[in-house]
Amino acid sequence: MELLRPSSVDELDGGLFIHGGTEVVPLLRDGIVRAETLVDVRGVVPRGVTGGRIGAGTTLAELEADARVPDALREACRLAASPQLRNMSSLGGNLLQSTRCWYWRLKFPCRLHDGERCHAADGEHREHAIFGNDYCASAHPSDVAAALLALDGRVRTTRREIALAELYRLPDEADRRMTTLEPGELILEVEVQPPAASTYLKAMDRKRWSFPQVGVAAARTGGGTRIALAGVAPVPWLLDGPEDVERATPLPRTAWKVDVARALVRRALAELG
């Protein structure tokens, strides 16, 4: 395997991007992802916060400590992973992390591995999705993406600028991808406008170093309040309003997540005042 270290966007030419490597390295090690060329993008992707613009190379550790970053995003970063991982983890890599579905990680031939069925739907799915789960029932693991979705963040790539919501798609039979990024498209930065108030609440197995079972981000701006959830659907999930929780379609053993989501949404809105 070769490792390339480009210093400008013009030098990009295929290969698998790697930033902090906290996700890519385990996937390569376990044979879930294969690559002949790894492209270390740390010399290309901006890092740091300038006004409302956040370089996709900024680490979660840097974001959690930066007072200019909206509360919801800072808290989502603070509650993610472990201090060591947050020091390595880039914002861009976090948004593009793969599902934690144990069947997928164990290479069961499920739909996301181009197979015919969802093993979780028929099997063990206590931590799986309660929305958008009819084709794939995985639960999106990014706290950060939910916070940015509530904050109505925008993503700038090497090819376009889109709302964060447009970065993700629910997989279906015709197209099993979970994001709309094209091969070779690199996320450069994320833009967020400062909200009047925002918050992020997270239910997890342990108090530290645990993926969200349910994460709830809420942000109040002049235009109203946006609520977005982590850990409840294959992609970060935007609610139309608090009552939208009742439209969940839980699997037999994920109904408990609806209760947790309902309670956290109520608490998050109370925090916003």
Ligand X SMILES: Cc1cc2nc3c(=O)[nH]c(=O)nc-3n(C[C@H](O)[C@H](O)[C@H](O)COP(=O)(O)OP(=O)(O)OC[C@H]3O[C@@H](n4cnc5c(N)ncnc54)[C@H](O)[C@@H]3O)c2cc1C
User: Closest Cα partner for 91 from 129, 148, 38?
Assistant: 148
Which of the listed partners (ligand X, ligand SF4, none) does 85 bind, with a CB threshold of 5 to 8 Å by partner kind? ligand X
Q: How far apart are CA 211 and CA 76, in angstroms?
A: 11
Q: What's the min distance (Å) between Cβ of 250 and ligand SF4? A: 14
Which of the listed partners (ligand X, ligand SF4, none) does 112 bind, with a CB threshold of 5 to 8 Å by partner kind? ligand SF4
Subset of residues 124 to 163 that bind ligand SF4, contact rule: CB under 6 A: 128, 136-138
Which residue lies nearer to ligand SF4 by CB, 17 or 103? 103
Q: Phi/psi of residue 94, each to 5°?
A: -65, -40
| Burial class, 205, CB count within 10 angstroms (exposed 0-12 / middle 13-18 / buried 19+) | exposed
Stretch that binds ligand SF4, among 23-31, 58-66, 82-90, 108-116 (CB under 6 A): 108-116
Stretch that binds ligand SF4, among 11-19, 72-80, 107-115, 180-188 (CB under 6 A): 107-115
Contact pick of 112, 146, 218, 248 for ligand SF4 (by CB under 6 A):
112
Which of the listed partners (ligand SF4, ligand X, none) does 90 bind, with a CB threshold of 5 to 8 Å by partner kind? ligand X
Contact pick of 45, 155, 218, 235 for ligand X (by CB under 6 A):
45
**Does residue 168 touch ligand SF4 according to CB under 6 A?**
no
Which residue lies nearer to ligand X by CB, 142 or 254? 142
Contact pick of 69, 178, 186, 201 for ligand X (by CB under 6 A):
186
Subset of residues 57 to 76 that bind ligand X, contact rule: CB under 6 A: 60
Q: How far apart are CA 173 and CA 114, in angstroms?
A: 9
Which of the listed partners (ligand SF4, ligand X, none) does 186 bind, with a CB threshold of 5 to 8 Å by partner kind? ligand X
Bridging pattern class, strands 214-221 and 197-203:
antiparallel
Stretch that binds ligand SF4, among 1-9, 52-60, 115-123, 205-213 (CB under 6 A): 115-123
Side chain identity at residue 135, one-letter code: Y
Contact pick of 49, 54, 56, 201 for ligand X (by CB under 6 A):
56
Q: Residue numbers of the site for ligand SF4 (CB under 6 A)?
A: 99, 101, 103-104, 110-112, 118-120, 128, 136-138
Residues at the contact surface with ligand X, assessed by CB under 6 A: 16-24, 41, 45, 56, 60, 80-81, 85, 88-90, 92-94, 96-97, 141-144, 186-187, 210-211
